[in-house]
Every structure is written in C-alpha cells, then in structure tokens.
Amino acid sequence: MRGDLHQVLIQPLLTEKITALREQSNTVGFLVHPGANKVQIRQAVESLLKVKVAKVNVVNIRGKVKRMGRFVGRRSDWKKAFVTLREGEKLELFESV
C-alpha cells in the first residue's frame, strides 16, 4: 500500500481486551488497511495522532463462514494492529470514551 497515511488507520478498536491492554501496558488497537505494514502503521499513528510509538504488533483476522438457512456466506478478512506507545505518552482520543 502506497501513498496516503489517512487510509492506513481505518478506525480505533474499543473492546474489553484492548481496554485492559491500554490500562496495563499503554497499548491501543486499530482496525487497519489489509495492505498496510508495521512501518506504515507506525508512521500513520505518529504523524496523525502526534504520539511516539514503541512497537507495533499486527494480526490478520480471517473472516468467519456464516449461514442463514441454506445460504452460506463469508465475512471479510481484516487486519488489527496493537500499537504500544512510549513511556509517558497517551492518547486523548481514548480517554474521553
């Protein structure tokens, strides 16, 4: 994926696991573009959200097969990024939730 850093971060993830990680180890989660790599995610978070990143972990989530009656469908694949912020950094975006 090349170009715009605004396309790398799609939305923040607010789950129980990510909320616990944010409180324990200063880690936040994002739904990211499937073609984005760790370097692009780091650059997007640092430039768009104005925080320093310590490390980035990425997980590819495969879509589940779902059925409704006799019709079978499949949810789309997506990518999740766990971004650990440096010591002393925090995101105001998540503090107001």
List pLDDT tens digits, range 37-54. 999 999 999 999 999 999
Rounded to 10 degrees, the C-alpha dihedral 15/17/19/24 comes to -170
Q: Residue 42 is which amino acid?
A: R
Q: 94: pLDDT confidence band, cut at 50, 70 and 90? A: low
pLDDT at position 4 is 85
CB atoms within 10 A of CB 24: 8
The CATH number covering residue 51 comes to: 3.30.70.330
pLDDT at position 77 is 97
The boundaries of the domain holding residue 83 are: 5-95
pTM tops 0.95:
no
- Secondary element (H or E) of residue 2: none
Structure tokens at 38: 């760790």
Count of domains forming the chain: 1
